[in-house]
């Protein structure tokens, strides 16, 4: 049975997210990201385009790993300047009624009690359309912004993230009963104290008394998104995530990772269908093939190699510009030249040289979910990707704002609708129901977060 695909717009509250150099396009309106109207226009277009959600990436530090400082990232607008993604969600919710909002927030730096209330507030204001992209953050500068000398190591970041989520589940699912708010005007009782409780969490990283300050919101727990590619990241996804962004360099890669995530979730007792999987779709549609290829050439012409290198310098911890092009990446890593050995090794082809890596980094046509052509060409490609990988949907990468979304909605959506791969109208209005169907606004009982309902298990270790 063909299932409608989930499409989210891959966004960020900034000028330059991942298509570096494209802010210079004469069509680009990215410089208006500080305006309320910019986000409200986006939201209306996405709801008219029947998207599942706008997915807001985020970083809380500057990319200062390239050429020894943040200068290139500043010049090239590589995710700086950037504003807080959570604050544009209510603006967009005010002018829409179905579009979901997924925002990135890190488990590494701000305390869980504060985020618990912010998330509940957003779930209330959006009437259950809020999702959370859980990250542990990967920029050394972010650590120094929050009082650390350097990043916590990868394993500790995830260990801490598990407890962070556990505290949040206790607050969102366990602290208030569904019927705690009685609003008994005659009796003068707004909330029945017998139906609200502290969580008294006392763990390795956090001590949180509670109760939660927010009354239950439509979804209580926002939809949990995550994008871990390492073993630790995948184990985290299998336990917590309801939607996972899958990385990979080939369709077989994706098929294997998607099967692995399903298996891991099943091992956690969550069932084979508990996790939706999303890839990054790089689509350049046009009225004709020639029109589409003209756009692709224009995007390549505007692409900034320096921008991509500054971006890569952040995550990989290697300042590629500091090495002769013939140097092997593996030699740099074994000589201790990278602060992210695991992530760096997986990022480059085995035996790759600095020169090869530089050429790869600036290319936007890499990765299996890349297509240029008419709407029909692109729908054909998408159908093939889904058949070969079993993927549930895609984050649509933006080249030019507003052009990329306009072209997708005009040329690709009608073709996908003809094939039953894209909704023709919204039939659900919460983010979780967009992914899992009507009646599924709350976490399923098989999800670890549900174990605290009614105040159960609050005193037991996770």
Contact residues toward ligand FMN (CB under 6 A) are 57-59, 104, 133, 135, 137-138, 227-230, 232-233, 245, 247, 280, 343, 395
φ, ψ for residue 331 (rounded to 5)?
A: -70, -40
Q: Is 164 helix (H, G, I), strand (E, B) or coil?
A: helix
Task: Give min distance, CB of 234 to ligand FMN, in A.
Answer: 7
- DSSP 8-state code for residue 453: G
Joined tokens for residue 205: 């990283």
The Cα-based distances of 2 to 5, 419, 435 in angstroms read 9, 8, 14
Torsion sign across C-alpha atoms 200, 201, 205, 206 = negative
Indicate the burial class of 41 (C-beta count within 10 angstroms; 0-12, 13-18, 19 or more): middle
Task: Give min distance, CB of 253 to ligand FMN, in A.
Answer: 13
Q: Measured between alpha carbons, how far is 29 from 202 in angstroms, rounded to an integer?
A: 48
Q: Which residue, 257 or 303, is less far from ligand FMN as judged by CB?
A: 257
Q: Which residue, 137 or 428, is less far from ligand FMN as judged by CB?
A: 137
The Cα-based distances of 49 to 98, 99, 218, 345 in angstroms read 11, 10, 24, 39
Q: Which residue, 130 or 138, is less far from ligand FMN as judged by CB?
A: 138
Q: Which residue, 208 or 435, is less far from ligand FMN as judged by CB?
A: 435
Task: Give min distance, CB of 269 to ligand FMN, in A.
Answer: 22
**Contact between 73 and 64 (Cβ < 8 Å):** yes
Task: Give min distance, CB of 115 to ligand FMN, in A.
Answer: 15
Q: Which residue, 211 or 279, is less far from ligand FMN as judged by CB?
A: 279
Q: Measured between alpha carbons, how far is 412 from 406 in angstroms, rounded to an integer?
A: 10
Q: Which residue, 191 or 232, is less far from ligand FMN as judged by CB?
A: 232
Q: Which residue, 199 or 243, is less far from ligand FMN as judged by CB?
A: 243
Q: Measured between alpha carbons, how far is 417 from 423 in angstroms, rounded to an integer?
A: 6
Residue with smallest beta-carbon separation from ligand FMN: 233
Task: Give min distance, CB of 5 to ligand FMN, in A.
Answer: 16
Task: Give min distance, CB of 247 to ligand FMN, in A.
Answer: 5
Task: Give min distance, CB of 58 to ligand FMN, in A.
Answer: 5
Q: Which residue, 191 or 230, is less far from ligand FMN as judged by CB?
A: 230
Joined tokens for residue 373: 């052509």
Q: Which residues contact 306 (CB under 8 A, 6 or more apart)?
A: 20, 72, 75, 76
Task: Give min distance, CB of 227 to ligand FMN, in A.
Answer: 3
Q: Are strands 223-226 and 207-208 parallel, antiparallel or unpaired?
A: unpaired
Q: Is 70 helix (H, G, I), strand (E, B) or coil?
A: coil
Joined tokens for residue 316: 């990989």
């Amino acid at each position: 049975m063909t299932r409608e695909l989930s499409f989210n717009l891959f966004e960020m509250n900034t000028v330059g997210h991942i298509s570096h150099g494209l802010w210079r396009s004469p069509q680009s309106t990215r410089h208006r990201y500080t305006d309320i109207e910019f986000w409200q226009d986006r939201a209306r277009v996405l709801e008219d385009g029947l998207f599942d959600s706008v997915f807001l990436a985020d970083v809380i530090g500057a990319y200062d790993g390239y050429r020894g400082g943040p200068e290139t990232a500043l010049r090239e607008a590589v995710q700086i300047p950037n504003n807080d993604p959570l604050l544009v969600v209510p603006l967009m919710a005010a002018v829409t009624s179905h579009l979901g909002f997924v925002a990135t927030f890190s488990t590494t730096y701000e305390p869980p009690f504060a985020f618990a209330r912010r998330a509940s507030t957003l779930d209330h204001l959006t009437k259950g359309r809020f999702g959370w992209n859980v990250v542990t953050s990967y920029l050394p500068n972010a650590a120094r912004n929050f009082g650390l000398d350097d990043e916590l190591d990868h394993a500790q970041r995830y260990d801490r993230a598990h407890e962070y989520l556990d505290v949040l589940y206790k607050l969102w699912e366990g602290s208030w009963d569904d019927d705690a708010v009685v609003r008994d005007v005659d009796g003068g009782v707004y909330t029945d104290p017998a139906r609200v409780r502290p969580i008294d969490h006392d763990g390795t990283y956090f001590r949180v008394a509670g109760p939660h300050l927010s009354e239950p919101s439509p979804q209580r727990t926002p939809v949990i998104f995550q994008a871990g590619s390492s073993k630790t990241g995948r184990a985290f996804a299998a336990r917590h995530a309801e939607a996972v962004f899958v990385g990979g360099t080939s369709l077989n890669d994706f098929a294997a990772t998607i099967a692995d995530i399903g298996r891991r979730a099943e091992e956690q007792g969550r069932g084979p269908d508990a996790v939706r999987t999303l890839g990054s779709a790089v689509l350049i549609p046009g009225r004709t093939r020639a029109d589409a290829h003209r756009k692709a050439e224009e995007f390549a012409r505007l692409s900034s190699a320096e921008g991509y290198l500054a971006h890569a310098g952040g995550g990989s911890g290697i300042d590629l510009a500091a090495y002769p092009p013939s140097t092997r990446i593996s030699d740099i890593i074994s000589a201790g030249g990278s602060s992210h050995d695991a992530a760096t090794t997986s990022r480059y082809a085995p035996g790759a040289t600095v020169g090869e890596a530089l050429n790869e980094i600036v290319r936007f046509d890499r990765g299996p979910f890349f297509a240029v052509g008419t709407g029909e060409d692109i729908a054909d490609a998408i159908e093939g990707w889904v058949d070969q990988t079993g993927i549930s949907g895609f984050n649509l990468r933006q080249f030019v704002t507003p052009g990329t979304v306009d072209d997708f909605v005009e040329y690709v959506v009608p073709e996908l609708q003809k094939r039953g791969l894209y909704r023709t109208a919204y039939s659900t209005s919460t983010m979780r129901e967009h992914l899992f169907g009507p009646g599924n606004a709350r976490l399923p009982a098989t999800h670890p977060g549900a174990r605290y309902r009614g105040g159960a298990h609050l005193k037991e270790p996770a």
